[in-house]
Amino acid sequence: MSPLLKYSLMQLPGMALAAGIVWAVWSWAGLPDWMAWGALGAWIAKDIAVYPLVRSSLVDGADRVGAGRLIGERGVAHEEIAPTGYVRVRGELWRARSSAPVAAGAAVRVRGVRRLTLLVEPD
């Protein structure tokens, strides 16, 4: 699902609530039409202005945090991994575990994370 569609669907309940409040004030308190439409327009403008700020958090995989963001990334074995060792991923050194031996300098791919240890396999 695209980030824009996710954001739009998340804004629907708030927009419905704002429309209900504006309608109630318009019908019971005699709010002028232009003010009611202006309030709804301001609410929509706020949603449009906020979207660029939150877009990156709506991209698929953005819910992963910390070491979880490294899943699927490639790295290089800093030393031999048999079954544990260290790898360099995105310029950072991480403790790693592999089910198959990996020679120092070999390419690896991160397949998972257990606590602060990357689960890697030869790439």
Q: Are the beta carbons of 67 and 116 closer than 8 angstroms? A: yes
Each residue's pLDDT tens digit, 55-102: 888 876 655 667 778 899 999 999 999 999 999 999 999 999 999 999
List, as one string, the DSSP characters of 75-109. Answer: EEESS-BSSEEEEEETTEEEEEEESS-B-TT-EEE
Q: What is the mean pLDDT of the chain?
A: 91
Q: What does the pLDDT read at residue 65?
A: 64
**Which ranges of the chain does DSSP label H, i.e. alpha helix?**
3-29, 33-58
DSSP SS3 for 120: strand
Q: Say which range, 23-37, 43-57, 64-78, has the weakest mean pLDDT.
A: 64-78
Domain residue extents for the chain:
3-58, 66-122
Q: What is the mean pLDDT of residues 29-54?
A: 93
Q: What does the pLDDT read at residue 80?
A: 94
Q: What does the pLDDT read at residue 62?
A: 57
Percent of the chain with pLDDT over 90: 76
Q: What does the pLDDT read at residue 7?
A: 93
Q: What does the pLDDT read at residue 96?
A: 96
Domain 66-122, CATH class in plain words: mainly beta
Provide the whole-model pTM: 0.52
Q: What does the pLDDT read at residue 45?
A: 96
Euclidean distance between the first and final Cα of the chain, in Å?
29
